[in-house]
A and B are shown apart, each in its own frame.
Chain A
Protein backbone atom coordinates (compact mmCIF):
# COMPACT_ATOMS: atom_id res chain seq x y z
CA UNK A 1 0.00 0.00 0.00
CA UNK A 2 1.56 3.26 -1.07
CA UNK A 3 0.84 6.26 1.09
CA UNK A 4 1.90 9.85 0.89
CA UNK A 5 2.24 11.86 -2.27
CA UNK A 6 5.07 11.74 -4.74
CA UNK A 7 4.80 15.50 -5.31
CA UNK A 8 5.77 16.05 -1.68
CA UNK A 9 2.62 17.99 -0.73
CA UNK A 10 1.29 17.53 2.74
CA UNK A 11 -1.10 14.61 3.22
CA UNK A 12 -2.41 12.81 6.28
CA UNK A 13 0.17 12.02 8.94
CA UNK A 14 0.47 8.25 8.39
CA UNK A 15 3.29 8.05 10.92
CA UNK A 16 1.18 9.42 13.79
CA UNK A 17 0.47 5.90 15.05
CA UNK A 18 3.43 4.14 13.44
CA UNK A 19 5.52 4.18 16.60
CA UNK A 20 8.80 5.76 17.56
CA UNK A 21 10.92 3.03 15.96
CA UNK A 22 9.37 3.56 12.52
CA UNK A 23 9.92 7.33 12.67
CA UNK A 24 13.52 6.91 13.85
CA UNK A 25 14.23 4.42 11.06
CA UNK A 26 12.86 6.81 8.43
CA UNK A 27 14.94 9.66 9.88
CA UNK A 28 18.02 7.45 9.82
CA UNK A 29 17.38 6.42 6.20
CA UNK A 30 16.74 10.02 5.14
CA UNK A 31 20.46 10.60 4.47
CA UNK A 32 21.09 7.34 2.60
CA UNK A 33 20.50 3.56 2.54
CA UNK A 34 21.51 1.49 5.57
CA UNK A 35 21.29 -2.11 6.74
CA UNK A 36 20.09 -3.33 10.15
CA UNK A 37 23.28 -2.96 12.16
CA UNK A 38 24.04 0.49 10.72
CA UNK A 39 20.47 1.57 11.50
CA UNK A 40 20.75 0.48 15.15
CA UNK A 41 24.07 2.29 15.56
CA UNK A 42 22.87 5.44 13.80
CA UNK A 43 19.64 5.62 15.83
CA UNK A 44 21.62 5.15 19.04
CA UNK A 45 23.89 8.08 18.12
CA UNK A 46 21.04 10.19 16.75
CA UNK A 47 18.45 9.79 19.50
CA UNK A 48 20.10 7.80 22.27
CA UNK A 49 17.58 5.02 21.68
CA UNK A 50 18.80 1.41 21.74
CA UNK A 51 16.54 -0.26 19.22
CA UNK A 52 16.17 -4.00 19.84
CA UNK A 53 16.73 -6.19 16.77
CA UNK A 54 13.22 -7.65 17.02
CA UNK A 55 11.72 -4.17 17.11
CA UNK A 56 13.91 -3.14 14.19
CA UNK A 57 12.78 -5.96 11.88
CA UNK A 58 9.13 -5.50 12.87
CA UNK A 59 9.30 -1.81 12.00
CA UNK A 60 11.20 -2.49 8.74
CA UNK A 61 8.53 -4.99 7.64
CA UNK A 62 5.74 -2.54 8.50
CA UNK A 63 7.41 0.37 6.70
CA UNK A 64 8.07 -1.77 3.64
CA UNK A 65 4.45 -2.93 3.59
CA UNK A 66 3.36 0.72 3.70
CA UNK A 67 5.65 1.52 0.77
CA UNK A 68 7.67 3.99 2.84
CA UNK A 69 10.98 2.11 2.44
CA UNK A 70 12.27 -0.47 -0.03
CA UNK A 71 14.97 -3.13 0.16
CA UNK A 72 18.04 -2.88 -2.03
CA UNK A 73 19.92 -5.90 -3.42
CA UNK A 74 21.58 -7.85 -0.60
CA UNK A 75 25.24 -7.19 0.18
CA UNK A 76 26.57 -10.49 1.50
CA UNK A 77 23.95 -11.40 4.13
CA UNK A 78 22.92 -7.81 4.79
CA UNK A 79 19.87 -6.23 3.24
CA UNK A 80 20.17 -2.45 2.96
CA UNK A 81 16.98 -0.38 2.87
CA UNK A 82 16.31 3.02 1.42
CA UNK A 83 13.55 5.52 1.98
CA UNK A 84 11.06 5.90 -0.89
CA UNK A 85 9.53 9.17 -2.17
CA UNK A 86 6.24 8.50 -0.30
CA UNK A 87 8.35 7.67 2.77
CA UNK A 88 10.18 10.98 2.56
CA UNK A 89 6.86 12.83 2.09
CA UNK A 90 5.31 11.01 5.07
CA UNK A 91 8.34 11.82 7.21
CA UNK A 92 8.13 15.50 6.23
CA UNK A 93 4.44 15.64 7.15
CA UNK A 94 5.10 13.93 10.48
CA UNK A 95 8.04 16.16 11.39
CA UNK A 96 5.99 19.26 10.50
CA UNK A 97 3.22 18.03 12.76
CA UNK A 98 5.66 17.32 15.61
CA UNK A 99 7.19 20.77 15.13
CA UNK A 100 3.79 22.48 15.34
CA UNK A 101 2.91 20.61 18.53
CA UNK A 102 6.35 21.32 19.96
CA UNK A 103 6.07 25.05 19.19
CA UNK A 104 2.60 25.19 20.74
CA UNK A 105 3.92 23.46 23.85
CA UNK A 106 6.82 25.87 24.23
CA UNK A 107 4.52 28.85 23.75
CA UNK A 108 2.13 27.61 26.41
CA UNK A 109 4.97 26.99 28.82
CA UNK A 110 6.15 30.57 28.19
CA UNK A 111 2.68 32.04 28.63
CA UNK A 112 1.98 30.00 31.71
CA UNK A 113 5.25 31.06 33.31
CA UNK A 114 5.85 27.53 34.59
Chain B
Protein backbone atom coordinates (compact mmCIF):
# COMPACT_ATOMS: atom_id res chain seq x y z
CA UNK B 1 0.00 0.00 0.00
CA UNK B 2 1.49 3.40 -0.94
CA UNK B 3 2.02 6.19 1.57
CA UNK B 4 -0.88 8.39 0.49
CA UNK B 5 -3.40 5.54 0.68
CA UNK B 6 -2.04 4.50 4.07
CA UNK B 7 -2.32 8.04 5.37
CA UNK B 8 -5.88 8.31 4.04
CA UNK B 9 -6.83 5.04 5.72
CA UNK B 10 -5.49 6.16 9.08
CA UNK B 11 -7.06 9.62 8.71
CA UNK B 12 -10.41 8.02 7.94
CA UNK B 13 -10.14 5.88 11.07
CA UNK B 14 -9.19 8.91 13.17
CA UNK B 15 -12.22 10.82 11.87
CA UNK B 16 -14.42 8.17 13.48
CA UNK B 17 -13.48 9.41 16.96
CA UNK B 18 -15.64 11.91 18.86
CA UNK B 19 -14.73 15.56 18.12
CA UNK B 20 -13.42 16.08 21.66
CA UNK B 21 -10.95 13.21 21.20
CA UNK B 22 -9.91 14.45 17.75
CA UNK B 23 -9.17 17.94 19.05
CA UNK B 24 -6.91 16.51 21.68
CA UNK B 25 -5.21 13.49 20.14
CA UNK B 26 -5.68 13.44 16.35
CA UNK B 27 -2.38 15.14 15.43
CA UNK B 28 -0.36 13.02 17.80
CA UNK B 29 -2.22 9.87 16.76
CA UNK B 30 -1.48 10.51 13.08
CA UNK B 31 2.20 11.03 13.88
CA UNK B 32 2.24 7.89 16.01
CA UNK B 33 0.69 5.92 13.15
CA UNK B 34 3.37 7.20 10.77
CA UNK B 35 6.12 6.15 13.19
CA UNK B 36 4.60 2.69 13.69
CA UNK B 37 4.24 2.19 9.93
CA UNK B 38 7.88 3.22 9.50
CA UNK B 39 8.77 0.53 12.08
CA UNK B 40 6.96 -2.10 10.02
CA UNK B 41 3.52 -2.28 11.63
CA UNK B 42 0.91 -2.95 8.92
CA UNK B 43 -1.22 0.13 8.20
CA UNK B 44 -4.36 -2.01 8.22
CA UNK B 45 -3.80 -3.16 11.77
CA UNK B 46 -3.18 0.43 12.90
CA UNK B 47 -6.37 1.62 11.21
CA UNK B 48 -8.27 -1.29 12.72
CA UNK B 49 -6.91 -0.48 16.18
CA UNK B 50 -8.02 3.14 15.80
CA UNK B 51 -11.46 2.04 14.56
CA UNK B 52 -11.93 -0.21 17.58
CA UNK B 53 -10.69 2.60 19.81
CA UNK B 54 -13.18 4.99 18.22
CA UNK B 55 -16.02 2.56 18.90
CA UNK B 56 -14.94 2.30 22.53
CA UNK B 57 -14.64 6.10 22.79
CA UNK B 58 -18.23 6.52 21.59
CA UNK B 59 -19.56 3.77 23.85
CA UNK B 60 -17.72 4.79 27.02
CA UNK B 61 -20.00 6.96 29.17
CA UNK B 62 -18.46 10.29 30.14
CA UNK B 63 -19.36 12.42 33.16
CA UNK B 64 -20.79 15.22 30.99
CA UNK B 65 -22.89 12.79 29.01
CA UNK B 66 -25.00 11.62 31.95
CA UNK B 67 -27.43 14.55 31.78
CA UNK B 68 -27.75 14.55 28.01
CA UNK B 69 -28.25 10.77 28.02
CA UNK B 70 -30.98 11.15 30.62
CA UNK B 71 -32.62 13.93 28.58
CA UNK B 72 -32.48 11.75 25.46
CA UNK B 73 -33.97 8.81 27.36
CA UNK B 74 -36.81 11.01 28.69
CA UNK B 75 -37.46 12.43 25.23
CA UNK B 76 -37.49 8.94 23.69
CA UNK B 77 -39.87 7.70 26.39
CA UNK B 78 -42.17 10.67 25.83
CA UNK B 79 -42.15 10.05 22.08
CA UNK B 80 -42.89 6.35 22.58
CA UNK B 81 -45.73 7.14 24.95
CA UNK B 82 -47.12 9.67 22.50
CA UNK B 83 -46.91 7.25 19.58
CA UNK B 84 -48.47 4.47 21.67
CA UNK B 85 -51.30 6.72 22.81
CA UNK B 86 -51.86 7.80 19.22
CA UNK B 87 -51.93 4.21 18.00
CA UNK B 88 -54.30 3.18 20.76
CA UNK B 89 -56.58 6.11 20.02
CA UNK B 90 -56.69 5.34 16.32
CA UNK B 91 -56.99 1.56 16.81
CA UNK B 92 -59.74 1.81 19.46
CA UNK B 93 -62.71 2.68 17.22
CA UNK B 94 -61.50 0.35 14.46
CA UNK B 95 -61.19 -2.55 16.91
CA UNK B 96 -64.56 -1.77 18.41
CA UNK B 97 -66.06 -1.78 14.93
CA UNK B 98 -64.36 -5.03 13.94
CA UNK B 99 -65.26 -6.90 17.15
CA UNK B 100 -68.87 -5.75 17.41
CA UNK B 101 -71.42 -8.35 16.32
CA UNK B 102 -73.56 -7.42 13.37
CA UNK B 103 -77.13 -7.03 14.49
CA UNK B 104 -79.68 -8.29 12.02
CA UNK B 105 -82.22 -5.63 12.81
CA UNK B 106 -80.00 -2.73 13.55
CA UNK B 107 -81.77 0.55 13.43
CA UNK B 108 -79.18 1.99 11.11
CA UNK B 109 -80.41 4.08 8.36
CA UNK B 110 -78.70 6.70 6.34
CA UNK B 111 -79.15 10.10 7.79
CA UNK B 112 -79.26 13.38 6.01
CA UNK B 113 -76.08 14.55 4.36
CA UNK B 114 -74.19 16.89 6.68
CA UNK B 115 -71.39 19.25 5.80
CA UNK B 116 -68.04 18.28 7.36
CA UNK B 117 -66.15 21.36 8.49
CA UNK B 118 -62.46 21.46 7.50
CA UNK B 119 -60.49 24.51 8.64
CA UNK B 120 -59.44 26.71 5.76
CA UNK B 121 -61.65 24.93 3.20
CA UNK B 122 -65.25 25.25 2.16
CA UNK B 123 -67.61 22.75 3.88
CA UNK B 124 -67.52 19.30 2.26
CA UNK B 125 -70.65 17.20 2.13
CA UNK B 126 -70.09 13.47 2.57
CA UNK B 127 -73.01 11.38 1.43
CA UNK B 128 -74.02 8.50 3.65
CA UNK B 129 -71.86 9.59 6.58
CA UNK B 130 -74.71 10.65 8.78
CA UNK B 131 -75.81 7.43 10.47
CA UNK B 132 -78.05 7.48 13.47
CA UNK B 133 -76.44 7.90 16.86
CA UNK B 134 -77.81 4.50 17.90
CA UNK B 135 -75.40 2.72 15.54
Q: List residues of A whose CB falls within 8 A of some B CB.
A: 35-37, 40, 50, 52-55, 57-58, 61-62, 77-79
Smallest Cβ distance from A75 to chain B, in angstroms? Answer: 10
Q: Given the complex, which residues of A lie within 8 Å of B36, measured CB to CB?
A: 37, 40, 53
B35 within 8 A of A: yes
Tell me which of B42-50, B87-95, B122-130 binds A. B42-50
- Identify the closest chain A residue to B27 (Cβ): A77
A61 and B49 alpha carbons, distance in the complex (Å): 15
Q: List residues of B whose CB falls within 8 A of some A CB.
A: 21, 24-25, 27-29, 31-33, 35-36, 41, 45-46, 48-54, 56-57, 60
Answer whether A54 and B51 are a contact pair too, CB < 8 Å, given A61-B57, A77-B27: yes
A61 and B18 alpha carbons, distance in the complex (Å): 13
SS class of chain B's interface: helix, strand, loop or mixed? helix
Q: Given the complex, which residues of A lie within 8 Å of B60, measured CB to CB?
A: 58, 61-62
Q: Given the complex, which residues of A lie within 8 Å of B52, measured CB to CB?
A: 52, 54-55
A78 and B24 alpha carbons, distance in the complex (Å): 11
